[in-house]
Amino acid sequence: MKSLITGGAGFIGSHLAEKLLDMGQEVYIVDNLWTGRLENIAKIQKKKNFHLVVETILNESVMNELIFKVDHVYHLAAAVGVRNIMDHPVETLDINVKGTETVLRLANQFKKKILIASTSEIYGKHIDHTLSEDDNRVMGSVKKRRWAYACSKTLDEFLALAYYDEKKLPVVIARLFNTVGPRQTGRYGMVLPNFVQCALLGKPIPVYGDGTQSRSFTHVSDVIDALTKLMAEPKAEGDIFNVGNDKEVTIKDLALKVKEMTGSHSEIEFISYEKAYGPGFEDMERRCPNIDKIREIIGYNPTKNLTAIIQSVIDYFKE
């Protein structure tokens, strides 16, 4: 079995590459190293079944050659992180829309099975209950840049399902909720590594807004296990699955727990969204998945609780 991972030098992609290699697969990754890093793949870069191509997924001739070679495509490449999206809206839309269109079109040309990594941001400002795959979406104004990422990934999902329905391309869509663990950095607004780094360095821990907004966090090892099982399950084709943890925590409580577990004397500093991201920024008050559907089809159940997740990030940054 040969697999291609777009965005394979990224946080999630590098862990997925390791798992596929451990499963005996030959692994190709393509990454432009915008947010991906060579150090993420340092342990596997010299393995004979591993191949790295440093290129953008917008390069159609390169993607054509790579997709032709493989059996499966894991499409993880995307502009990610709130900070990135606010600072680089054109690149966000280019990569997330044009890039996905290119990958899907070429996967269809060679009829290669493809998994599209989507996002919980799809649900927008939904707060009424845990989020199920068929729920309506609640989006903010197009004048608020915050929603560009969610809208671009929505289009990705529509396009993927269109290829499945019209072209019979075997497609699986995984909506990832907050995925965390070793190798993730706080550089682009990722909350947990940012909190841990600040706590270990004795710097103020920055909480945006009043900290009552809640999130659910899933360890990257649970996420990649879900992705490989979804790819292997024929019944998952043409469908969408939440991949996450159904236990939620407020951001303020997360900061307090990080402070406690690191033994830090850092203060928790509350920063307005306007100061952090500029005027008119909107955030999601709650984001917690219903995981009944993925549990039923592949027996998915997260194995790491919040304490274990935080500890793995602490250990990574201490190293």
Residues 166-182 pLDDT 10s = 999 999 999 999 999 99
Q: By CB neighbour count within 10 A (0-12 exposed, 13-18 middle, 19+ buried), where does 98 fall?
A: middle
Instruction: Please state which of the ranges 62-71, 166-175, 196-205, 277-286 shows the lowest mean pLDDT.
Output: 277-286
Q: Average pLDDT, stretch 193-210?
A: 96
Instruction: Please tell me the distance from the alpha carbon of residue 75 to that of residue 318, in angstroms, as a whole number.
Output: 31
Task: Determine the pLDDT at residue 233.
Answer: 98
Predicted confidence (pLDDT) at residue 79 exceeds the cutoff of 90: no
Lowest mean pLDDT among 59-68, 79-88, 187-196: 79-88
- What is the predicted pLDDT for the residue at 95? 83
Distance between CA atoms of residues 297 and 192, nearest Å? 30
Confidence of residue 146 (pLDDT cuts 50, 70, 90): confident
Nearest Cα residue to 194 out of 130, 119, 271 = 271
Tokens 């996905």 identify what position?
100
Q: Where are the domains of the chain?
A: 2-180+218-246+288-303
CATH classification code of 2-180+218-246+288-303: 3.40.50.720
Instruction: Give the mean pLDDT of the chain.
Output: 93
**251-262 vs 191-201: helix crossing angle, rounded to 10:** 40
What is the share, in percent, of the chain residues with pLDDT greater than 90? 78
Structure tokens belonging to residue 57: 């997924």
What is the Cα–Cα distance from 298 to 115, expressed in whole angstroms?
15
Task: Give the mean pLDDT of 112-122.
Answer: 96
Checking if the pLDDT of 280 tops 80, the result is no
123-140 per-position pLDDT tens digit: 988 777 789 999 988 888
What number is the average pLDDT over the span 153-158? 95
pLDDT value at 263 more than 90: yes
**pLDDT value of residue 82:** 64
User: pLDDT tens digit string along 8-44?
Assistant: 999 999 999 999 999 999 999 999 998 899 999 999 9
User: Does 149 participate in catalysis according to the annotation?
Assistant: yes
Neighbours of 43 (CB within 10 A): 12
Give the residue, 220 or 96, on which the prediction is more confident: 220
Q: Which of 28, 74, 149, 277 is catalytic?
A: 149
* Through-space distance between the first and last CA atoms of the chain, rounded to whole angstroms: 34
Torsion sign over Cα 191, 196, 197, 201: positive
Ranges 67-71, 87-91, 186-190: which has the least confidence: 186-190
The answer to whether the beta carbons of residues 116 and 97 sit under 8 Å apart is no
pLDDT above 70 as % of the chain: 97
Cα–Cα dist 8/30, whole Å: 6
**pLDDT of res. 137:** 86
